[in-house]
Homo-oligomer: A and B are copies of this chain.
């Protein structure tokens, strides 16, 4: 009986676009229906309510956004250098495919923390726990440990590990969050800005090396 139906997927993608553009409060069910090319009643047929539809979308988006991030940050088998490279590379690529993701996630998390924190926790086990035997962010324990070791054995410059990690994340994510403003500032067209972001991966890696590694020799080459 089941029509080989992608309708629910079409709806989900349409809803994602609209929610990302306008947020939960600003999104209209009618607009989502139009975007999906269906009737508004069908929307309620597939997803009981706006809230339900939103949660489905948001859950997926959190997963896409957070799972790779957290996975790489606390993978116990990566060296410090590879961890950084992998993080930057995988993150820029994820975000190039989903440019609207981070702003959307931050938006909703900020307007309704209570309702959504639990969703975050589903995908990032251990965010809440702060048990006595773990002195600090267990999420980042390995990463921070590697940086501390590097500072002790002289291979790393002095940094506050948390500030360093936050800087790494900032350099990757902010260009997407601040896209419209930065595009205005740099006077770049849509495609031009995409290229700019694609080139950004290696530039960030170079910066992070200059910050962290004592023996790193800044690359040379043709001036930009």
Contacts and interface: CB of A to CB of B under 8 A. Distances in A.
A178 B184 contact: no
A106 B23 contact: no
Interface stretch (A35-43, A79-87, A90-98, A213-221): A213-221
Interface residues of A, number: 70
Q: How many copies does the complex hold?
A: 2
Interface string A181-224: 11011110000000010011001100100110010001111011
A167 B199 CA distance: 13
A29 interface: no
Interface of A: 21-27, 100, 102-103, 105-107, 109-111, 113, 117, 120, 124, 127, 130, 136-137, 139-140, 148, 151-152, 157-164, 166-167, 169-171, 173-175, 177-182, 184-187, 196, 199-200, 203-204, 207, 210-211, 214, 218-221, 223-224
